[in-house]
Amino acid sequence: MSAGEKKMLTLTETTCGTLLNELQIIWDEVGESDAEKDIMLLELERECLEVYRRKVDQANKCRAQLRQAIADAEAELAAICSSIGEPPVHIRQSEQSTGSLKAELRAILPQIEEMRKRKSDRKNQFIEVNGEIQSIKNEIYGGGCASKDAAVNETDLSLRKLEELHIELQALQTEKCERLKHVHEYLNYLYLGCSVLGLDFKQTVSEIHPRLGEPEGKDISNGTIEQLRTAIQRMQEVKTQRMQQLQDLASSLLELWNLMDTPIEEQQIFQKVTCNIAASEDEITEPGMLSADFINHVKAEVSRLEELKVSKMKELVFKKKGELEDICRKTHLIPESDNAVDLAIEAVESGAVDASCVLEQIELQISKVREEALNRKDILEKVEKWMAACDEESWLEEYNRDDNRYSAVRGAHLVLKRAEKARVLVNKLPAMVETLASKTTTWEKENGVYFTYDGVRLLSMLEDYMTLRQEKELERKKQRDQKKLQGQLLTEQEALYGSKPSPMKNQSAKKGTRLSCGGAAAATGRRLSLGGNMLQTPRHDMPPPAKATPVTRNAKKSQRTTHDSLKDDGFQTLSSGRRGLDLAGLPVNQQSREIEFPSPMMRKPFSPISSTDSSRSNATNILGDINQKHNEMLQKMLTSNNSTTPFTTPSKTIPTAEAENIIMPQAASTRSTTLPIPMHLAMTPMQKPVSSATLQMAAITPAKAAEEEIEYSFEEKRAGFVLPRSHLVNLMMQV
């Protein structure tokens, strides 16, 4: 005890002693009895004790409180430790601890504080993770099971639990990722499908979930995925269905094209349809390929083709029907089921029956009819002949009745010929009918049916014809008898009145003349039309054929040319008179002999030969001998002329010729027109070697005569080309 406390004690003892002393004094003064004094002192003593007791209680209570606080703190600490899952850091070392309670409490409080902080931290972590998990779960399972787990279980905030939560979160996150991927896949698939089907992708998707269409924030809930799946399934169903439809259409398209030979250009438009005909569902990826519009488009094409086909089929049916009728008509059969065919065609037109069916039917009929026709052909041909003969017969009758039949109209000779033939034919008719009848009966026996011709039995036709013929025969006989009677009457008359009129004789005379001139006219007319049109065109450059020359001129010419041929002039042999000889049938030899006459003059180009020729011939006609001399003179002049200059130019004219031309220009022109063709034609064939040899002789003579007279072309002359001497020698050798 320190001096201070002692002092205080002493101080309090002093104060109590003093106070008691004071009381003693007071009491003594007051004179209190001792009893009183005792009581009073007892009371004082009791009261003091009371105060002590109270204070001790109070201290005791405080100590208990402290102990309680420490225990509480320790409990809390333990609780926190256990919840965090940490070993209790602060296991009570109270036994060891010797510190006061207050110190103990003071030591434990910061620990608690720290642990509390740690716990709240941990709790925050938990809340965070939980929140995330919750949000993902929300996304996945929808908002239904929300915020149930939001409150964190405070009792277990251990790291392990946190780990578990983290694992859960991760799992959820991967799931979310996966789902997103799925959704994307589905959406992709949907997009492709929509494009193929021609649907609006955005609309389809937003029907499933309004947010699916947006690029971000896709919904991945179970419901959405399920919906997507069903949507895809639905789409696939639609796609399959449409594909089926399209492929059906495509196959019918192909069929129709094939059937109708549709041009490639038309096919090209639908090529992409038909190329997918065997494609599986996945292979059809072209946008809009299966859209309703496109399918409708194809459908329209198919129906158009279908219509076309129907109309073509109809056409075909009509054509076939026509063919059938044609064959029937040709073979003179009555088409047996004409009505049936008509009915069938009506049915086709109304669309009740398939045209192909009817077509087949008609085809069958056609083949049947064809077969029948083949069977009947033999007899039919005979019938045809018979018919023709009958026609001829009736024509002949008509013709025989025509009084003017022998008049010389154009083509009368043809009619005459026809009549002649017809008579022969008519004579053959009975035999023809007989064979036909016998053939027909055998045919009928073989086939067991009547042979009909245009629906009439042929045998009855033949019979009718025979009876008719017999009737006619009778009639004719009657007529003949009548005529005979008339003749008799006439002779009787003649005996009575003199000579009988003979119209027959007159007629025949007339007929004769007419015929001859008519025939001539016809003949010339025909010839003219065959080759003589040259004659009609009055031209000088084209020689007319000989036959077309008028007779008068011909005569004149032949006269003239006989004159000519007497003379010593090779050119004259060209004249038409030669032709006359030809026609008269003189041997070729003679012709060649005529040609043989050596030409007195080597004819040079550009000397107007025909005019000199003609002038000469004219001259002989008119002037006779004088002119011949004149001619010789002229020839001499020409040859001299030739020897000096190689050419006589076309513009140069020979004065003598000119003079003579004035006399007979007309004759000259006619000569020139009749000059050439037949002459040349007679020359070329060269059937006789003799004639050709002589011709060669004629051609070569000048060469023999003089070197100067070798012919040269203009080019040779210009080039100064001269044949070497050997050539001449060769020529001589050849001759």
Partner 1 sequence: MASAPPPSTGRELLSPPTDGISNLRFSNHSDHLLVSSWDKSVRLYDASANALRGEFMHGGAVLDCCFHDDTSGFSASADHTVRRLVFNYNKEDVLGRHDGPVRCVEYSYATGQVITGSWDKTLKCWDPRSSSGQDRSVGTYTQPERVYSMSVVGNRLVVATAGRHVNVYDLRNMSQPEQRRESSLKYQTRCVRCYPNGTGYALSSVEGRVAMEFFDLSETGQSKKYAFKCHRKSEAGRDIVYPVNAIAFHPIYGTFATGGCDGYVNVWDGNNKKRLYQYTKYPTSIAAVSFSRDGRLLAVASSYTYEEGDKAHEPDAIFVRSVNEVEVKPKPKMLPNPAS
Rounded to a whole number of angstroms, the minimum distance from the CB of residue 288 to partner 1 is 52
Pick the piece of the chain touching partner 1 (CB under 8 A) from 132-140, 396-404, 507-515, 709-717: 709-717
Q: Which of 651, 550, 558, 669 is nearest to 613 (CA)?
A: 669
Q: Which long-range contacts (CB under 8 A, 24 or more apart) does 361-366 make?
A: 362/317, 362/320, 362/321, 362/324, 363/320, 365/324, 365/335, 365/337, 365/341, 366/320, 366/323, 366/324, 366/327
In whole angstroms, give the CA distance from residue 100 to residue 236. Answer: 85
Q: DSSP code of 584?
A: T
- Contact, 651 vs 658, CB < 8 A? no
Pick the piece of the chain touching partner 1 (CB under 8 A) from 10-18, 108-116, 475-483, 652-660: 652-660
Determine, following the binding rule CB under 8 A, whether residue 668 of this chain makes contact with partner 1: yes
The gap between the terminal CA atoms of the chain, to the nearest Å, is: 197
Rounded to a whole number of angstroms, the minimum distance from the CB of residue 399 to partner 1 is 27
Q: Which of 66, 105, 292, 528 binds partner 1 (CB under 8 A)?
A: 528
In whole angstroms, give the CA distance from residue 86 to residue 112. Answer: 14
Looking at the Cβ atoms of 222 and 696, the one nearer to partner 1 is 696
Q: Which of 496, 504, 662, 733 binds partner 1 (CB under 8 A)?
A: 662
Q: Which of 67, 385, 593, 603 binds partner 1 (CB under 8 A)?
A: 603
Determine, following the binding rule CB under 8 A, whether residue 609 of this chain makes contact with partner 1: yes
Q: Which of 98, 529, 640, 644 binds partner 1 (CB under 8 A)?
A: 529
Under 8 Å CB-to-CB from 286, ≥6 apart: which residues?
Answer: 196, 272
Q: Which of 404, 715, 725, 733 binds partner 1 (CB under 8 A)?
A: 715
- Contact, 359 vs 317, CB < 8 A? yes
Looking at the Cβ atoms of 258 and 713, the one nearer to partner 1 is 713
Q: Which long-range contacts (CB under 8 A, 24 or more apart) does 456-463 make?
A: 458/379, 458/383, 462/433, 462/436, 462/437
- Contact, 233 vs 327, CB < 8 A? no
Looking at the Cβ atoms of 466 and 723, the one nearer to partner 1 is 723
Q: Which of 46, 61, 202, 540 binds partner 1 (CB under 8 A)?
A: 540
Could you give the string, one character per residue 414-453, with x where binding to partner 1 holds by CB under 8 A and - elsewhere?
Answer: ----------------------------------------
Determine, following the binding rule CB under 8 A, whether residue 717 of this chain makes contact with partner 1: yes
Determine, following the binding rule CB under 8 A, whether residue 258 of this chain makes contact with partner 1: no
Looking at the Cβ atoms of 291 and 653, the one nearer to partner 1 is 653
Which neighbouring-strand residues pair with 457? 452
In whole angstroms, give the CA distance from residue 415 to residue 235. Answer: 90
Pick the piece of the chain touching partner 1 (CB under 8 A) from 175-183, 213-221, 418-426, 651-659: 651-659
Looking at the Cβ atoms of 6 and 727, the one nearer to partner 1 is 727
Tabulate helix, strand, coil % of the chain (nearest 5): 75, 0, 20
- What DSSP assignment string belongs to 281-292? GGG--STTTT-H
Rounded to a whole number of angstroms, the minimum distance from the CB of residue 580 to partner 1 is 19
Residue matched to tokens 């809930």: 221
Q: Which of 260, 277, 419, 695 binds partner 1 (CB under 8 A)?
A: 695
Question: In which element (H, E) is residue 627 found?
Answer: helix 625-644
Rounded to a whole number of angstroms, the minimum distance from the CB of residue 621 to partner 1 is 16
Determine, following the binding rule CB under 8 A, whether residue 515 of this chain makes contact with partner 1: no
What ranges in 532-575 are assigned the alpha helix state H?
533-536, 551-566
φ/ψ (deg, to 5) at 451: -85, 115
Rounded to a whole number of angstroms, the minimum distance from the CB of residue 716 to partner 1 is 6
In whole angstroms, give the CA distance from residue 212 to residue 216. Answer: 8
Pick the piece of the chain touching partner 1 (CB under 8 A) from 450-458, 487-495, 509-517, 685-693: 685-693
- Contact, 404 vs 365, CB < 8 A? no
Looking at the Cβ atoms of 89 and 735, the one nearer to partner 1 is 735
Q: Which of 67, 335, 608, 639 binds partner 1 (CB under 8 A)?
A: 608
In whole angstroms, give the CA distance from residue 252 to residue 262. Answer: 13
Largest separation between any pair of C-alpha atoms in the chain? 249
Determine, following the binding rule CB under 8 A, whether residue 216 of this chain makes contact with partner 1: no
Q: Which of 8, 105, 284, 683 binds partner 1 (CB under 8 A)?
A: 683
Determine, following the binding rule CB under 8 A, whether residue 543 of this chain makes contact with partner 1: yes
Q: Which of 97, 536, 589, 590 binds partner 1 (CB under 8 A)?
A: 536
Determine, following the binding rule CB under 8 A, whether residue 288 of this chain makes contact with partner 1: no
Q: Is 273 exposed, middle or buried (0-12, 13-18, 19+ CB in 10 A)?
A: buried
Burial code (b: 16+ CB inside 10 Å, e: under 16) for 70-82 equals beebbeebbebbe
Rounded to a whole number of angstroms, the minimum distance from the CB of residue 610 to partner 1 is 5
Instruction: Tell me the site size for partner 1, rule CB under 8 A.
Output: 64
Determine, following the binding rule CB under 8 A, whether residue 600 of this chain makes contact with partner 1: no
Looking at the Cβ atoms of 252 and 614, the one nearer to partner 1 is 614
Rounded to a whole number of angstroms, the minimum distance from the CB of residue 576 to partner 1 is 14
Measured CA to CA in angstroms, residue 235 lies from 192, 218, 273, 300 at distances of: 10, 21, 20, 24
Pick the piece of the chain touching partner 1 (CB under 8 A) from 128-136, 200-208, 214-222, 657-665: 657-665
Rounded to a whole number of angstroms, the minimum distance from the CB of residue 629 to partner 1 is 22
Determine, following the binding rule CB under 8 A, whether residue 716 of this chain makes contact with partner 1: yes
Determine, following the binding rule CB under 8 A, whether residue 684 of this chain makes contact with partner 1: yes
Looking at the Cβ atoms of 207 and 658, the one nearer to partner 1 is 658
Determine, following the binding rule CB under 8 A, whether residue 685 of this chain makes contact with partner 1: yes
Determine, following the binding rule CB under 8 A, whether residue 410 of this chain makes contact with partner 1: no
Pick the piece of the chain touching partner 1 (CB under 8 A) from 39-47, 476-484, 586-594, 677-685: 677-685
Q: Which of 611, 617, 620, 627 binds partner 1 (CB under 8 A)?
A: 611
Determine, following the binding rule CB under 8 A, whether residue 553 of this chain makes contact with partner 1: no
Q: Is 34 exposed, middle or buried (0-12, 13-18, 19+ CB in 10 A)?
A: exposed
Q: Which of 64, 699, 705, 735 binds partner 1 (CB under 8 A)?
A: 699
In whole angstroms, give the CA distance from residue 334 to residue 119. Answer: 118
Looking at the Cβ atoms of 198 and 608, the one nearer to partner 1 is 608
Rounded to a whole number of angstroms, the minimum distance from the CB of residue 418 to partner 1 is 24
Q: Which of 669, 670, 694, 701 binds partner 1 (CB under 8 A)?
A: 669
How many Cβ atoms from other residues are within 10 Å of residue 196's Cβ? 23
Residue matched to tokens 């042999």: 573
Determine, following the binding rule CB under 8 A, whether residue 552 of this chain makes contact with partner 1: no
In whole angstroms, give the CA distance from residue 677 to residue 682. Answer: 9
Residues that bind partner 1 (CB under 8 A): 525, 528-529, 532-537, 539-543, 550, 603, 605-611, 645-647, 649-651, 653, 657-658, 661-662, 665, 668-669, 672, 675-677, 680-681, 683-686, 692, 695-696, 699-700, 711-719, 721, 723, 727
